Amino acid sequence: MNFMRDKKHPPTEQAAEQSGAVFGFEEFWSKIYGKYKHYFDAINDLICLGNEIVEAAEKNASEPVANVICALTRATMSGACEAVLLCGNGCGTGAMKIVRGMYESRWMAEYLRRNPEEAKDYLEFSKVLLWRRLKWAEEYKANSVPPEALEKAEADYKQVRGQFTDSNGKVRHQWCKKSIGSIAKEIGREKEYELPYSIACSIHHGNFEGLAAQWVSGEGAATPNVPPSKDWVKRALTAAWANLWFALNTLNDAFGLDYSKNLEASHKDFVRVGTEQEPGK
């Protein structure tokens, strides 16, 4: 996942050497990297450190909860890569949608670290979801479902549905009884839930606040803020870095690894980046 800094070919040279189809705004790459170089570099360095930490954890992951926490951390790290790709192409609001998912995967990992007994529900709810998906496909003839596959899914569903049935006899729609807001509060991330996560949700769901993020105001009129744009890039990179950093701390604590000093140094470097004057200002 180390894709940001190719020491042989700086960003200004890479574009000239590419041939064939280019998916993105090639002419924008050097501009946005020049403006937010320290942010891009910091998140790239953290992804590299994350690869090392996840690989170390996976060697010792034997219990189901350990495997789930590793997988959730990898999902958070993939989100960081996706956010960088979007930011590098001037799609900051798109990156914020990815960041929203990073909050959730990171919070879920920390919640399960503190409540390992709930990992069984996390895993077995997949049987509820599969049964619902296959029933939907069968009902709407969206796909041909082999009878034996449906029978197996239904048997698995009947085996676990009691775990997820409420007092009214209804099977709930998520693996955990608690909402994502309750989970964030329980692990001490309530303030994140109330503001940065909430803003990312607005952008994702397209309420008026989220819609307004897609426009810019100037000279008394609002105009669409179409990609590539520098808007939201810094905020998305900062949130992506923070989510990954917290996720790696969860993994480090869950496995008793020896990366606390590395993570502390990464945090100090990023704080310094945030206080430095941006290029071109």
Six-digit token pair at 202? 């607005």
Residue 233 lies in a domain: yes
Domain that holds residue 46: 27-119+184-216+225-275
Q: Does 9 have pLDDT greater than 50?
A: no
Q: Assign 10 a pLDDT band (cuts: 50, 70, 90).
A: very low
Q: What are phi and psi of 216, to 5 degrees?
A: -125, 145
**pLDDT tens-digit series, residues 207-223:** 999 999 999 887 778 89
Residue 261 lies in a domain: yes
Domain count, the chain: 1
Residue 33 lies in a domain: yes
Supply the pLDDT for residue 221: 86
Q: Does 6 have pLDDT greater than 70?
A: no
Q: Which of the residue ranges 8-12, 56-60, 247-251, 254-258 would you say has the lowest mean pLDDT?
A: 8-12
- Compute the distance between CA of residue 101 and CA of residue 108 in angstroms, rounded to an integer: 11
Query: pTM of whole model > 0.95?
Result: no
Residue 254 lies in a domain: yes
**pLDDT tens-digit series, residues 229-268:** 999 999 999 999 999 999 999 999 999 999 999 999 999 9
**pLDDT tens-digit series, residues 94-146:** 999 999 999 999 999 999 999 999 999 999 999 999 999 999 998 898 778 88
Which residue type sits at 84? V
Residue 31 lies in a domain: yes
Residue 9 lies in a domain: no
